[in-house]
C-alpha cells in the first residue's frame, strides 16, 4: 500500500503545487481579479473544450468497450448526482445548492482517476479509464449545467433556458464535435493536433492558478461547513455506495478497482470554472476542490486496502 500511497501523492502533489502558486501569485500581486476572470473564461470557453475534444478522439473505444460496466458507471454517476442534489435541497442554503451538488458528484477522472488506473493496470487501465472518462464527460457537464442554472443568482430556470445552457456549454460542444472523429477514426493533420495540444495543456495550470488566486482564509472559513459536507459526500459516502453496488453486481479485480478509483476521484477543477462562468459561489467550489484533493491521499488508499483485504481486487 505504500506504493499506492506514493502513486496517489505523485498525482495530487502537482495539483497542490499549482494551487499554492496561485495563492502566492495573488499575494505578490502578479495576478489580480481581472486576470482570474479572463483566465477562467479562457479555460471555460477554449482550453478545456479543446482538452476534452482531444481526449475523446484519442480514446481507444474498441479496447475497452464493456457495455455492462460502462452502463453501470453512467447510472451510478446519475444516481450520485440526484442523491447529492436531494441532500442539498434538505440541508444546504438555496444559493449554494448547485455548487454543493456539482462538487459532490463531479470527479477529476481525466487527471487523478486515469493516472491511478494507468499506474496500477497499465494499458488496460489506460484504455478502460479513457473510455470511462470520455463517456461520463457528457453526464458531468449536462447535469452540472442543469443544477447550476437552477440555483445561480439571477439565472432563468425555465426548461428552455436550462436546455439552452446545456447545448451552449462549450465543454459539451467540445465532446460532441469529437464523437464523429472518434467513431469514424477521421485523422486530423498532425500540425493541427500539435497546436491543439499546446492550447489544451494550459487548461489545468490556468484553472488551478485561478482557484488558488481565489482562495482566502476568510472565504474558506465562511464556506467551511458546506465545503466539508460536499467533500464528505464526494470522498466517502458516494464512493462507498457506488463501489458497493458494483461489488454486488459481480464486478471484481481490475474492473472493480478502476470503478472505485473513478468514483473516489477528488472534485474536478472544471467545477470551479463552471461555477465562476455562471456567477455561482466559486469560492465554495474552490474550497471543495482543495479539501477533496487533500482527502484523496487518505480515502483512495484506505478504499484500495479494504478491497484488497476482502480479496476483491
pLDDT at 12 over 90: no
**Rounded Cα gap, residues 271 and 304, in angstroms:** 26
pLDDT at 5 over 80: no
Angle, in degrees to the nearest 10, between helices 270-277 and 33-42: 110
pLDDT number for residue 158: 66
pTM of this structure:
0.87
- pLDDT at position 156: 57
Q: Is the dihedral of CA 187, 172, 88, 19 positive or negative?
A: positive
For range 130-138, the mean pLDDT: 82
Q: Say what the pLDDT of residue 2 is.
A: 64
Higher pLDDT, 59 or 122: 122
Confidence of residue 98 (pLDDT cuts 50, 70, 90): very high
Kindly state the cell numbers that stand for 7.
Answer: 502513486
What value does the mean pLDDT take over residues 88-111?
A: 93
Taking all residues of the chain, what is their mean pLDDT, rounded to a whole number? 89
**Could you tell me the pLDDT band of residue 254, with boundaries at 50, 70 and 90?**
very high
What is the Cα–Cα distance from 297 to 302, expressed in whole angstroms?
Answer: 9
- How much is the average pLDDT of 264-287? 91
pLDDT classification of 64: cutoffs 50, 70, 90? low
DSSP result, 12-50: HHHHHHHHHHHHHHHHTTSS-HHHHHHHHHHIIIIIHHH
Cα–Cα distance, 289 to 230 (Å, whole number): 10
What is the rounded distance in angstroms from the CA atom of residue 300 to the CA atom of residue 295?
A: 8
What whole-number distance in Å separates Cα of residue 313 and Cα of residue 123?
17
Handedness of CA 95, 96, 97, 102 (dihedral sign): positive
**Residue range 2-309, CATH number:** 1.20.1530.20
Amino acid at each position: 500500500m505504500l506504493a499506492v500511497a506514493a502513486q496517489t501523492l505523485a498525482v495530487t502533489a502537482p495539483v497542490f503545487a499549482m494551487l499554492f502558486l496561485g495563492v502566492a501569485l495573488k499575494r505578490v500581486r502578479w495576478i489580480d481579479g481581472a486576470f482570474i476572470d479572463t483566465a477562467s473564461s479562457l479555460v471555460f470557453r477554449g482550453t478545456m473544450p479543446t482538452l476534452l475534444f482531444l481526449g475523446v478522439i484519442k480514446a481507444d473505444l474498441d479496447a475497452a468497450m464493456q457495455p455492462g460496466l460502462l452502463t453501470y458507471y453512467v447510472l451510478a454517476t446519475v444516481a450520485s448526482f440526484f442523491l447529492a442534489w436531494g441532500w442539498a435541497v434538505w440541508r444546504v442554503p438555496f444559493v449554494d445548492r448547485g455548487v454543493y451538488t456539482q462538487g459532490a458528484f463531479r470527479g477529476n477522472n481525466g487527471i487523478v482517476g486515469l493516472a491511478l488506473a494507468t499506474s496500477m493496470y497499465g494499458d488496460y487501465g489506460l484504455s478502460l479509464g479513457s473510455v470511462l472518462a470520455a463517456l461520463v464527460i457528457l453526464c458531468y457537464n449536462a447535469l452540472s449545467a442543469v443544477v447550476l442554472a437552477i440555483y445561480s443568482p439571477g439565472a432563468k430556470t425555465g426548461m428552455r433556458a436550462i436546455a439552452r445552457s446545456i447545448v451552449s456549454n462549450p465543454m459539451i460542444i467540445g465532446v460532441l464535435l469529437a464523437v464523429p472523429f472518434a467513431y469514424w477514426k477521421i485523422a486530423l493533420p498532425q500540425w493541427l493536433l500539435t497546436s491543439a495540444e499546446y492550447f489544451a495543456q494550459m487548461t489545468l495550470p490556468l484553472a488551478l492558478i485561478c482557484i488558488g488566486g481565489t482562495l482566502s482564509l476568510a472565504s474558506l472559513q465562511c464556506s467551511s461547513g458546506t465545503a466539508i459536507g460536499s467533500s464528505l459526500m464526494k470522498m466517502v459516502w458516494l464512493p462507498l455506495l457506488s463501489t458497493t453496488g458494483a461489488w454486488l453486481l459481480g464486478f471484481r479485480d481490475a474492473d472493480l478497482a478502476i470503478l472505485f478509483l473513478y468514483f473516489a476521484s477528488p472534485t474536478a477543477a472544471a467545477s470551479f470554472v463552471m461555477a465562476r462562468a455562471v456567477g455561482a459561489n466559486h469560492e465554495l467550489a474552490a474550497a471543495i476542490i482543495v479539501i477533496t484533493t487533500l482527502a484523496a491521499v487518505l480515502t483512495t488508499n484506505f478504499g484500495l486496502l479494504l478491497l484488497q483485504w476482502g480479496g476483491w481486487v
